[in-house]
Structure 1
Amino acid sequence: MKSLLIKDTTKEEREAIVAESLGNIEGGCDGCAPGILEMYQPYIDGKMELRECNMAFRTHYVSGEEQPVRNGCGYVR
């Protein structure tokens, strides 16, 4: 698999990577496509790596729960 890093790709390749990863978002779109595409624009523009775009999205996601419930895994914050 070829590297997805900005330093190893051209803008056109990054556009193709995002388009291929998202698949046919036009087909069942409920109006969310512009937001999803916008999320990856910094990667396409060479400003943020894919990993950073995904991390930024997760940081701003609100699940509606105060804290996740953990049952028996022993994980302590």
Structure 2
Amino acid sequence: MQPPKIDNSTRDERQAYVLEAWKCLHDCEACGKCRILKGRDAEMLYADYIEGKRSYMDITLEIRNRSIR
């Protein structure tokens, strides 16, 4: 599933996408989402995307780059 593009989606659609994409699967060994988020809230991390300020991919790459360090 692709994230909604900022220019043709509503704030609610983008927020729903983030919540769905990062919801807990209750299978920590196989999932890995918790390791990426490191206890941070996905809505907070993707706030600029939800508000239409930055693309989902820009934020995702930033999160991944910070995780490597």
- Report the TM-score when normalising by structure 1: 0.59
Give the RMSD, CA atoms, in angstroms: 2.8
- Report the TM-score when normalising by structure 2: 0.65
Runs of 5+ consecutive residues of structure 1 not aligned to the other structure:
64-77
- Quick one: structure 1 residues 58 and 24, their matched pair in 2 at CA, closer, same or farther if it must change by over 3 Å? closer
Equivalent residue pairs, number: 59
Instruction: Give the structure with the higher percent helix.
Output: 2
- Quick one: structure 1 residues 3 and 52, their matched pair in 2 at CA, closer, same or farther if it must change by over 3 Å? closer
SS at match of 1:24: coil
- Quick one: structure 1 residues 56 and 19, their matched pair in 2 at CA, closer, same or farther if it must change by over 3 Å? same
Q: Which runs of 4+ in 1 moved over 6 A?
A: none
Cα displacement (A) at 1:3: 6.2
- Structure whose CA Rg is larger: 1
- Equivalence for 1:7: 7
Residue identity in the other structure for 2:59? C
Runs of 5+ consecutive residues of structure 2 not aligned to the other structure:
29-33
- Equivalence for 1:20: 20
* Identity rate, percent: 25
Cα displacement (A) at 1:4: 1.4
